[in-house]
Chain A
Amino acid sequence: MARKISIKQAINEAIDQEMSRDPSVIMLGEDIVGGAGGEGEMDAWGGVLGVTKGLYAKHGDRLLDTPLSESAYVGAAIGAASCGMRPIAELMFIDFMGVCFDQIFNQAAKFKYMFGGKAETPVVIRAMVGAGFRAAAQHSQMLTPIFTHIPGLKVVCPSTPYDTKGMLIQAIRDNDPVIFCEHKNLYALEGDVPEGSYTVPFGEANVVREGKHVSIVTYGLMVHRSLEAAATLAKEGVEVEIVDLRSLSPLDMDTVLDSVTKTGRLVCVDEASPRCNIATDISAQVAMQAFGALKAQIEMVSPPHVPVPFSPTLEDLYIPSAAQIADAVRRTLAKGKQ
């Protein structure tokens, strides 16, 4: 049966159920149990925000606290995956991926291709993404486009508790490396989630709101900002359709194209830096594949091309707001064919 739980609980439940179902599922990360080398309570931490708390009591040493070396334990997880385990590596913040790019880009993403399809790398690398947490420039980035750029990686970024649980279970069962992006400012969001295990397939976008005037294509926290904007616009008589991509690689362009063909107007909203991000990718593909359907030029809403500011006032201005999204929708409605 379904009941309301938070995204944080949904992550914990997905890992718990998969560890119970499949003994090859293990987990590595910093402070995911009690802190490496610590002498205190083993389940003290459960990760930097307590996401894995309680799992050590059930699954014991299948959860490994690691030294503060992302390059070491992400590499270890990838190696274990290529030897038959299904490891989940947790990085506190996606910003720390920089030190393990060789392991991820050159090893995990390439094994299947370079070994003629004989090698599988069923690793999941979970990391918190996004700004708004007052965590400054090195802990706040939305680095999704860096990973969608690399063939061989799957990249997902769910926006609801239901999708989070189903996509994390799918990620663990998937035979390819998956970068699983969790928006830290959505951890407390609650929604209906079935108690049993289920999977949400990758490569299928979700139309979270139907409308006929303008399509917004987005993912993550921006889905919720777009819903806010849509509620404001509905009072002005504008019916916005919102496509939550949720899976960024593979990407469901069919759903995007169906929506744009229906509305003729597109606003791409992305919390990632504006150059070469998911919004530019979607708009390029729509311009190529559905140019004839467009009634006006495509609008994009992204943060400015600057590091995420530490000043709370500036950080709030940095993150695209519902008001900015609504303005972009109004701009596209004011232009082009009526």
Chain B
Amino acid sequence: MSENPERRPHDEVAGGTIPAVVRDDASAAFFDATARGKLWLRCCLRCQTILTPSARSCTACHGDALGDCRVAGRATLISWVVVYDPPTPVLADCVPYVVGIVEVEGGPWMVARIVAFDATLHVGSDLEVRFVDSGSKKPGEAVPVFVVT
């Protein structure tokens, strides 16, 4: 996989706050990577299908031997919504915000905030990952968000 073209960690991106997320054992490597401005996904060691970070087995061949896989962070937009009614109290300070399903280059879909765009969004919009610190009062991990390129 190629280098992330935007290697600045913790880009300052407009588009609302993101509540603090803390790591657990399963996500530690993922958040180690986001702290360095890199997006790590998972990859099937048998058929090389690129999978979401939380994948437990391969969606293509059902294999359960997975490894880490760094991706460039280019993506296209599959769907998006503008959330006005906070789905859960921790998001009360975030509304309204835009969240989408993005298809990361290589195949897997991720749910992520879409930030800092002027253009009208449409299915297939070209996106690129950025990383922002979650949490305001108490800091959390750096999390991926996507900007329109």
Q: Do A and B come from one complex?
A: no
Q: Tell me the B residues contacting A by CB distance below 8 Å.
A: none
